Amino acid sequence: MEADYVIVGAGSAGCAMAYRLAEAGVSVLVIEHGGSDAGPFIQMPAALSYPMNMGLYDWGYQSEPEPHLGGRRLATPRGKVIGGSSSINGMVYVRGHARDFDHWRDMGAEGWGYADVLPYFKRMEHWHDGGHGGDAAWRGRSGPLHVTRGPRRNPLFQAFVEAGSQAGYELTGDYNGEKQEGFGPMEQTVWRGRRWSAANAYLRPALKRKNCTLVRAFARRVVIKEGRAVGVEVERGGKIEVIRARREVVLAASSLNSPKLLMLSGIGPAAHLAEHGIDLVADRPGVGANLQDHLELYIQMAASQPVSLFKYWNLWGKALIGAQWLFTGTGLGASNQFESAAFVRSKPGVEYPDIQYHFLPIAVRYDGKAAAEGHGFQAHVGPMRSESRGTVSLRSADPGDAPVIRFNYMSEASDWDDFRRCIRLTREIFEQAAFAPFVKSEIQPGADVQSDDELDGFIREHAESAYHPCGTCRMGRADDAMAVVDAQARVIGVDGLRVADSSIFPRITNGNLNAPSIMVGEKVSDHLLGHEGLAPENAEPWISPRWREAQR
């Protein structure tokens, strides 16, 4: 088996590359270990807590015990299915702030500033504003990826935005447009009531072409001959074989599995590879370093009236929602229920938002466990630019072993300050007049948790990953010792090999990572094809004129 391009991983970036390469007429073969994404657990947006907790669709990784979080091991889901993590995620669509990409450029990712990436965001999107306004000039209308807004029928969605305004924050009609900062509607990758994953948007249309093939197999390592990647060794049907790449191999296997595959192939920190008896091909100490993620807390309130989704949180209610969705594609099942959002700055002197809110009209956890109090609502809140950094390393030289994942969460004092501020700012929002008709009491942290020490205890026990790991094969200048790929996503020191997924982010972006991961796939496909790339667009984002002296 061989093709011009062999892509490892049918996830967010891999599917986008398969589509663009196939469209350009070259032959492309995508290797994916996971299986089909058919069935309501994945396709029904409201069922999002199921696939994330199912071994059928998830690699099942866990962090090592986190020393600053009381030794807890945190679940680290990654999609093991067609569409990758875009098939098991919360479907929230956030591009990131313009300044995030300018920062990438300034860190050595030449050609990845906001002016450079904006045209790719526009190319990939098919944006539907649903009559709610927004920045049409900043958005794309003809891409494969449908982006919509929830109906926001529940009164709590409006209360959240109104409370933000009452607390003195900005409002924004489109956080993916000119103005990220403020309270407003949240966007989702849902179309006609279905999860619009990278598989639905990109892979299925690509596979309709004769020059695109999907192979179900487990990638073991990249085969490198005389400094050049020539194929991928896979296990398929109990046999080990090599799938050959005539032009290039591209790893798009996630920020956990891409560095693992590089190390198994002899690319990584020399001493670490020697420990596991792996022959060195290229000494790149940055492989597996620079691991970043977003942590978040759920600030939960008990409701004084039955307005939340709790009335459906039983077998009969879920069956009703499921049946309505199955037969009509509508109703509560057709939304991820994240329909209002906010991006705010934590303090004066912060130039652009560093706190994100997802608002949910029920008090429930990602694993589907509802709060004992019954009716309630919650805000997911967390800092966007933690200074903590972790690592991904090999457990052994056996490709079947899970990687060792150490996030090193909350290892910087600034993280604790940021999180305490998040809790206090959220409480202030829930104290506004807009919530007065709905608030009964605070479920968690709980009204008695007030001092820094008490808040720190709550954070230690309850902070959860938002499932945004990235940065482990970071992009930078070829002479930067800790960079793994150059600005065209080529692995430094090896020919014919690239990495294109959230691994290459120099620093984590604001918000959820699915949109920027797909954008990476879109942009790298142009690099692979030797295209000029889309013309930069100099659109200036809105920055608060008072950012130096005011928090809002």
**Would the annotation count 482 as a binding residue?**
no
Residue 552 lies in a domain: no
Q: Given the DSSP bridges, would you call strands 194-195 and 391-393 parallel, antiparallel or unpaired?
A: unpaired
**Cα-to-chain-centroid distance, residue 232:** 26
Q: Summarize the confidence of residues 137-143 as an average pLDDT.
A: 96
Residue 543 lies in a domain: no
Residue 213 lies in a domain: yes
**Would the annotation count 81 as a binding residue?**
yes
Q: Summarize the confidence of residues 71-91 as an average pLDDT.
A: 97
Q: Does residue 436 sit in the same domain as residue 515?
A: no
3-state secondary structure string across 17-53: HHHHHHHCCCCEEEEECCECCCCHHHHCHHHCCCHHH
126 to each of 146, 191, 348, how far by Cα in Å?
Answer: 5, 10, 36
Quote the pLDDT of residue 416.
98
Q: Which of 97, 358, 468, 527 is catalytic?
A: 468
Which comes out higher in pLDDT, residue 54 or 62? Answer: 62
**Would the annotation count 290 as a binding residue?**
no
Is the link from the previous residue into 445 a cis peptide, with omega within 30 of 0? yes
| 444 membership: H or E segment, kind and range | strand 439-444
Q: Does residue 445 sit in the same domain as residue 487?
A: no
Q: Which of 462, 479, 501 is the last residue of a domain?
A: 462
Q: Summarize the confidence of residues 143-153 as an average pLDDT.
A: 96
Distance CA 19, CA 15 (A): 6
Q: Summarize the confidence of residues 168-186 as an average pLDDT.
A: 97
Q: Summarize the confidence of residues 388-397 as an average pLDDT.
A: 98
Q: Does residue 487 sit in the same domain as residue 368?
A: no
Tens digit of pLDDT for each residue in 424-435? Answer: 999 999 999 999
Average pLDDT over the chain, rounded to whole?
96
Question: What is the secondary structure of 197-253 as a DSSP string?
Answer: -HIIIIIHHHHTSTTEEEEE-EEEEEEEETTEEEEEEEEETTEEEEEEEEEEEEE-S
Counting the structural domains of the chain, the total is: 2
CA 446, 451, 457, 462 torsion: positive or negative? positive
Query: Which residue bears the tokens 């598989």?
Result: 199
Q: Does residue 329 sit in the same domain as residue 266?
A: no
Residue 393 lies in a domain: no
Q: Summarize the confidence of residues 111-137 as an average pLDDT.
A: 92
Tell me the longest C-alpha to C-alpha distance in the chain. Answer: 70
Quote the pLDDT of residue 94.
98
Quote the pLDDT of residue 371.
72
Quote the pLDDT of residue 314.
87
Tell me the pLDDT band of 373, cut-offs 50, 70 and 90: confident
Q: Does residue 238 sit in the same domain as residue 109?
A: yes
Closest residue by Cα to residue 332 from 321, 341, 316? 321
369: pLDDT strictly greater than 80 = no
Tens digit of pLDDT for each residue in 283-328? Answer: 999 999 999 999 999 999 999 999 999 988 888 999 999 999 999 9
Tell me the pLDDT band of 53, cut-offs 50, 70 and 90: confident
Q: Summarize the confidence of residues 9-33 as an average pLDDT.
A: 98
Quote the pLDDT of residue 259.
98
Which comes out higher in pLDDT, residue 458 or 312? Answer: 458
Name the DSSP class of 67: G
Q: Does residue 166 sit in the same domain as residue 239?
A: no
| 522 membership: H or E segment, kind and range | helix 514-528
Q: Which of 424, 439, 462 is the last residue of a domain?
A: 462
Q: Does residue 428 sit in the same domain as residue 489?
A: no
Would residue 471 be called left, alpha or beta, if left means φ above 0 and alpha means ψ between -120 and 50 degrees?
left
272: annotated active-site residue: no
Residue 59 lies in a domain: yes
Regarding pTM above 0.75, the answer is yes
Tell me the pLDDT band of 97, cut-offs 50, 70 and 90: very high
Q: Does residue 112 sit in the same domain as residue 214?
A: yes
Range of the domain at 42: 1-143+193-289+471-536
Question: What is the secondary structure of 386-419 as a DSSP string?
Answer: ----BEEE-S-S-TTSPPEEE--TT-SHHHHHHH
The CATH number given to whatever domain includes residue 358 is 3.30.410.40
Tens digit of pLDDT for each residue in 517-548? Answer: 999 999 999 999 999 999 999 999 999 999 99
Tens digit of pLDDT for each residue in 251-284? Answer: 999 999 999 999 999 999 999 999 999 999 999 9
Quote the pLDDT of residue 364.
84
Percent of the chain scored above 90 by pLDDT?
A: 93
Tens digit of pLDDT for each residue in 232-255? Answer: 999 999 999 999 999 999 999 999
By CB neighbour count within 10 A (0-12 exposed, 13-18 middle, 19+ buried), where does 488 fall?
A: middle
212: pLDDT strictly greater than 90 = yes
**Cα-to-chain-centroid distance, residue 101:** 15
Q: Does residue 221 sit in the same domain as residue 83?
A: yes
Quote the pLDDT of residue 366.
65
Residue 162 lies in a domain: yes
The CATH number given to whatever domain includes residue 484 is 3.50.50.60
Residue 400 lies in a domain: no
486: pLDDT strictly greater than 90 = yes
**Would the annotation count 222 as a binding residue?**
no
Q: Does residue 262 sit in the same domain as residue 321?
A: no
Q: Does residue 285 sit in the same domain as residue 360?
A: no
Q: Does residue 493 sit in the same domain as residue 347?
A: no
Residue 389 lies in a domain: no
Distance CA 522, CA 363 (A): 37
Structure tokens at 438: 């709905």
**Would the annotation count 89 as a binding residue?**
yes
